[in-house]
A = this chain, B = another copy of it.
Amino acid sequence: MIEYRNLRIAVLGAGSVGAQVAALLLQHADELAGRVGAGLELVGIAVRDLDAPRTADIPRELLTTDARSLILGADIVIEVMGGLEPAREYLELALTSGADVITANKALLATHGPELFAIAEQVGAQLYYEAAVGGAIPIIRPLRDSLAGDRVHRILGIVNGTTNYILDRMDQGGDSLEQALAVATELGYAEADPTADIEGFDAAQKAAILASLAFHTAVPVDGVHREGITGVTREQVAAAQRSGFVVKLLAVCERLVDPETGADGVSARVHPALIPTTHPLAAVHGANNAVFVEAEAAGSLMFYGAGAGGVQTASAVLGDLVSAARRHVVGGPGVAESTHADLPILPITSVTTRYQITLSVLDRPGVLAQIASVFSEHDVSVEAVQQSVVDPAADGQDGNAPGATLVIGTHRATEAALAATVAALADSPVVARVDSVLRVEGL
């Protein structure tokens, strides 16, 4: 074992993750020192308010409001404060002053990642962020290192625990979105303002990070197509169940051929999607996360675990800390971010996938033929149609004629062709209503 001076660790932020990082670091100091070959000394925790309540027991004398001085005296800076500023400014200060950096800040990476990675490479510092996606689940290192010799084709990720909890309640318990959200809020799975989760902003940030890593291409968060779950109804979830599917909010990252240029490109998108109940992702319940990766040589892999939570996320942060500290002891710069592929980022209109469309139609002869011709006029190929006659009394919207419901599954089609098809269906005299349009993944 190499004898080495203690490494000075600074933590920025003492929220649910920061407090657990500090507590575990103090509690397991000897064990971590054994793994690193040097002591890890927590020199301070930068906070805005010295008197705010904390979720873990941390010595008050470690708290400081002077983040800058703390950063300038540290070997390794752990940023778990969140938000864009001053987090960005602090990390830039840390890197340029020669410290290694660990962050759990997905918003920061999805927005300012490339400039931070460039600074880190320039000064030979390390920048780790295992905790930014999937909480405790190791997914950054597997994508960056384990799959570095393979070619990733597709990632399907359940990367937001709040929305998975809500959709799982709607699926398993028959809740409405509002009911499920209310329970999620009460249990602390959803924040008072749930917008970031239910509108897919959080998942889109994670999709940007995963796509950048998997495809060796800087994918900014505004290159990610985003749809949240606020349009998902109890009826859609129940209908999905009847046809062997479950509705999940998926982050989908794909390597594609650009239909216009014929060259390779990448797409990252977040939207609710149907996946077959036999798919491993369908078994991801509650607030858990999972990332399903399809690679050329490795085939299908899945990484599953707790996607959030203070102590779980702290596990990922401390794993990064041990990596950074070991490298500090044995020497050598960190691994630079790899964006050599630099593929074009394709818009959602270039994506092809399957769809399930639910229509309320008039129940009269010839309707199916008219609907089928709308699909074929727009080059969307129908794979399966299920028809059920609806009791007009139960329908409740237009009781003037007996209605029927058609559930139409398509073969792969482009988003553009599908959008044109749906517009034409809505205008069709035999269609009373387009009830639902959902993408299907994982078939």
Q: Which residues of A contact B (CB under 8 A)?
A: 1, 20, 24, 28, 31-32, 34-35, 37, 130, 136-138, 141-142, 145-151, 216, 280, 283, 295-306, 309, 311-312, 314-323, 326-327, 330-333, 335-336, 338, 340-341
Contacts and interface: CB of A to CB of B under 8 A. Distances in A.
Interface residue SS majority, chain A: mixed
B338 A301 contact: no
A149 B300 contact: no
Q: How many copies of this protein are present in the complex? A: 2
A32 B149 contact: yes
B323 A145 contact: yes
A290 to B, nearest CB: 8
A131 to B, nearest CB: 10
A314 to B, nearest CB: 6
Given A20-B297, A138-B146, A326 B315 contact: no
Nearest to A309: B299
A147 B297 contact: no
Nearest to A24: B297
Nearest to A306: B299
B298 A136 contact: yes
B332 A150 contact: no
Contact of A311 (B34, B297, B309): B297
A328 to B, nearest CB: 11
B301 A149 contact: no
Nearest to A304: B302
Given A150-B315, A332-B332, 7 more contacts: A20-B297, A28-B149, A34-B216, A35-B340, A145-B323, A146-B319, A147-B319
Contacts of A130: 146
A422 B216 CA distance: 58
B150 A319 contact: yes
5 contacts: A24-B297, A148-B322, A298-B315, A298-B316, A302-B302
A326 B319 contact: no
Given A298-B315, A312-B299, A341-B34, A138 B141 contact: yes
Contacts of A326: 148, 335
Contacts of A297: 20, 24, 136, 311-312, 314-315, 318
